[in-house]
């Protein structure tokens, strides 16, 4: 199984800050890497697919980069609605695997 490791596991930041979350795969996943945002009681929201493509309707302050084994999700200027948990997920091979999540909290 491909292991996905996110860092940090939690992060405190203020509105207006920029933050970066990293995701590392235990073997190459090419660009088959996706990012999701989860909020309590809400349906998971796809943010970025294929490592760097912004899903329709997602604000442009979100961006993704990377290929192979190392990836990043960047939020350029945090808004109050961005405080949530973020997950990376590889779709390169089965079994599909997720990172352990990064909880973004308000400082």
Partner 1 sequence: QVTLKESGPVLVKPTETLTLTCSVSGFSLNNDKMGVTWIRQPPGKALEWLAHIFSNDEKSYSTSLKSRLSISKDTSKSRVVLTMTNMDPVDTATYYCATSSKYTITTFTWFDPWGQGTLVTVSS
- Our finding on whether 2 is near partner 1 (CB under 8 A) is no
Q: Is 40 in contact with 33 (CB distance < 8 Å)?
A: no
Q: Between 22 and 61, how does the x/- string for binding to partner 1 read (CB under 8 A)? A: --------x-x-x-x-x----xx-x--xx----x------
How far apart CA 37 and CA 82 sit, in angstroms, is 8
How far apart CA 56 and CA 83 sit, in angstroms, is 20
Binding residues for partner 1, rule: CB under 8 A, are: 1, 30, 32, 34, 36, 38, 43-44, 46, 49-50, 55, 87, 89, 91-101
């Amino acid at each position: 199984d491909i292991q996905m490791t996110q860092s940090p596991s939690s992060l405190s930041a203020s509105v207006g800050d920029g933050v970066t979350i990293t995701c590392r795969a235990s073997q190459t996943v090419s660009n088959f890497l996706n990012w999701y945002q989860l909020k309590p009681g809400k349906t998971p929201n796809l943010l970025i697919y294929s490592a760097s493509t912004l899903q329709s309707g997602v604000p442009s302050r979100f961006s993704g980069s990377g290929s192979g084994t190392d990836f990043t999700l960047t939020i350029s200027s945090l808004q109050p609605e961005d405080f949530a948990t973020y997950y990376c997920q590889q779709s390169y091979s089965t079994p599909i695997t997720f990172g352990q999540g990064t909880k973004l909290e308000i400082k």
